[in-house]
Amino acid sequence: MKIKVLVEDKAEEFEIPDQLIAQGEDFFNKMDADLDQGWQMGHVWIEQPNILQRCQVAADKMMSAIHNENEKMFMLMAAYILKNKPDTDEIHLDSTGDIQTIDFLAKKDG
């Protein structure tokens, strides 16, 4: 699956292999188990993160992976997002660190 990632005014398109989404199930289950315990999102503690919030956490980890040049983590987080929000076409990352402003755009029909 292709996904476009935007950070500030830079956009880049990535190919996320479908097999990574399927093969990452154990990793995704562990991540979900961690998120089931609640998560600090900015100044707010979220007891039970919903799908959007879980994907915002993954996208925030993508941003960290970009800074740390960790391609494997970047790809896993992108795969997690596509698994949970399969209609995602674009991810708008926030370089200021405000996790709650991370946005996902869905594919347009047609």
97 CB burial (10 A radius; 0-12, 13-18, 19+): exposed
Number of helices and strands (H, E) in the chain?
4, 6
- Interval 11-35: pLDDT, tens: 999 999 999 988 999 999 999 999 9
> Could you tell me the residue ranges of all domains in the chain?
2-106
Residue-level pLDDT at 91: 96
Q: For the residues 66-90, what does the mean pLDDT come to?
A: 95
Q: What is the pTM of this model?
A: 0.92
* Mean pLDDT of the region 93-100: 85
